[in-house]
Chain A
Amino acid sequence: MDEDADKSNIEAEIDAFREKYKLLVENFQNLKTGQGWHTPNNVSFAHEGMLVREFHGPSGNRPNPVLIVYSHVNLPYITDLTSQHSLVCRLIESGHKVFLIEWSEVNSEARTRDLSVYLHDYLDKSIDFILGKYGVEKLDLIGICQGGTFCLCYASIHPEKIRSLVTMVTPVDFQAGESIIWKWARKIDFPQLEKIPVNIPGSMITLFFQSLRPFDEVMRSIQVIQNPESLKNLNLTALIDQWVFECPDQPGMAFAQFMHQFYQKNKLVRGEFKIGEHLINLGNIDCPVLNLYATSDHLVPPESASVLKRYIHRKRYSEMTYDGGHIGLMVGTKAHQTILPQMAEWLVNAHK
């Protein structure tokens, strides 16, 4: 072994790396990646700061509207980053009319809002608005992550308003599959927060997610720097990076309730979760359900999502799995070439 030669080789590799890093930073700084939607849209309904966005595009001959309900934990524009990486675009391409709920910004008044406000007030009013606008009795619902849990609860209370339901990376059994969120949530005093709620800063949520896999983040960043091809896709990388760091503040009561009732008590699968007067019974859901989940999801383990099939009649239940992670199902090139177009087609045919 020539020790000096080895050290010299390391120096050369590091020097080359520094050059690539500089190039990445220069390219990064030249990007214009302001938060925004790829697909033209307008706000067609607003209520207490909550917005319903209506996306523009050819809706073909299938006017039945689709409403996307995203998690409150991240911002929903991840569903519409670029034309090749947009769930909204995949739906429009299949002829759907697409709406999306953007939860209101969290202020001091949001501190005491509980989950019933989100379901009975925000979601219900949004759905009634869309149904009224299109003069139809039912719409299609796509719930993503926590938004999927909200949609399951809603569809069990109001099955008469839902034509078909898609759940994407949605936790159902919150304690299944070695869920790291459940493991960490078990011993945290959410009941106390539920009694005296305090809004949770979004930066803390961001850093929680980052803290789960700090070395994975390092590895991914080094791959981006090292791979010259990544400069070609830097706009997408930057958009995703930016999105990851933009978790919104969480409304104290609703957040504590979600963590306590769903994670700590696992009330959804136990049939014990109540919203106002309504006891949530997943068996009430009587529309076709498509459950999409990711096999390498570290936030919603596949076991947590797949258990949904036990609660939906087998004739109405379908599922698709994605060989990737939680975010990959939303933004992965492979997902946009296969599973998401298939999901959009499923929505076309589910009610026939």
Chain B
Amino acid sequence: MNSSHTDPLNKYLYSSAFYIQSANCYRLILEWIASADPEQRDALLGMIQHSWLQTTINAYSSTLSRMGLTNTTTMQGNDLINLVRLTQILNRIAPQIIDEVVDRVSKHVDDTLMFQDFFDIWIKTCIKAHVELINSEEFVDCISDLINLSIKTSVETMKVAESKNG
């Protein structure tokens, strides 16, 4: 999967990968409904969390990489701490999404949803959760800290350039 969608065709590629990845989640959900095996449920949890995290982190990491903040070779101290904070917030949100989707799909035991119908539920749940995410103070703090670090670095670089130019 491409890690950023910075042009239109990339966006379709990225979205398609997300769609296909969602089918893997749906297969696991169907298995979970059929067997109620706790181990399979754990596998399902991990899979959906992975999908959610990958999509969201991709969206942000592409923004952050433009500011030089997600290159692990150059990332230091506070930058890394902020990225870890971001991942932790996203990790906390993922189970809520999974619960909501599984709950809705479970209601269709005798009339299994077409994958497209599952995807509609899945993506709308993601949209709803994402709105809550970007409006949360914790998340805004995290992003603000990242951007402020970038500003500080850029301003310091500019000061050096200005002093060299007299």
Contacts and interface: CB of A to CB of B under 8 A. Distances in A.
Interface in A238-264: 238, 241-242, 244-245
Nearest to A3: B34
Given A10-B27, A188-B147, A222-B19, A1 B11 contact: no
A176 B115 CA distance: 40
B67 A204 contact: yes
Interface residues of B, number: 58
A187 B148 CA distance: 8
Interface in B63-117: 63, 66-67, 109-110, 112, 114-116
B26 to A, nearest CB: 6
Nearest to B148: A189
Given A183-B140, A189-B151, A7 B27 contact: yes
Given A28-B9, A206-B6, A198 B66 contact: no
A279 interface: no
Contact of A207 (B62, B124, B159): B62
Interface string B112-136: 1011100100011011001000110
Contacts of A241: 8, 11
A348 to B, nearest CB: 37
A212 B134 contact: yes
Given A1-B34, A211-B63, A242 B8 contact: yes
B3 interface: no
Contacts of A203: 6, 66
Interface residues of A, number: 54
B144 A187 contact: yes
A203 B30 CA distance: 41
B11 A217 contact: yes
B135 to A, nearest CB: 6
Contacts of A211: 59-60, 62-63
Nearest to B119: A222
Interface stretch (A17-25, A265-273, A285-293): A17-25
Given A201-B66, A214-B56, A17 B16 contact: yes
Nearest to B129: A215
Nearest to A246: B7
A14 interface: yes
Q: Could you say which of B20, B63, B109, B141 has the most chain A C-beta atoms within 10 Å of its C-beta?
A: B63
B145 to A, nearest CB: 8
B144 A188 contact: yes
Contacts of A208: 63
Nearest to A180: B134
Nearest to B143: A184
B64 to A, nearest CB: 9
A211 B144 CA distance: 14
Interface of A: 1, 3, 6-7, 9-10, 13-14, 17-18, 21, 24-25, 28-29, 178, 180, 183-184, 186-189, 192-193, 196-198, 201, 203-204, 206-208, 210-219, 221-222, 224-226, 238, 241-242, 244-245
6 contacts: A188-B147, A198-B155, A201-B66, A222-B19, A222-B123, A245-B8
Cβ-closest 6 pairs across A and B: A241-B8, A221-B15, A214-B59, A187-B144, A207-B63, A215-B126
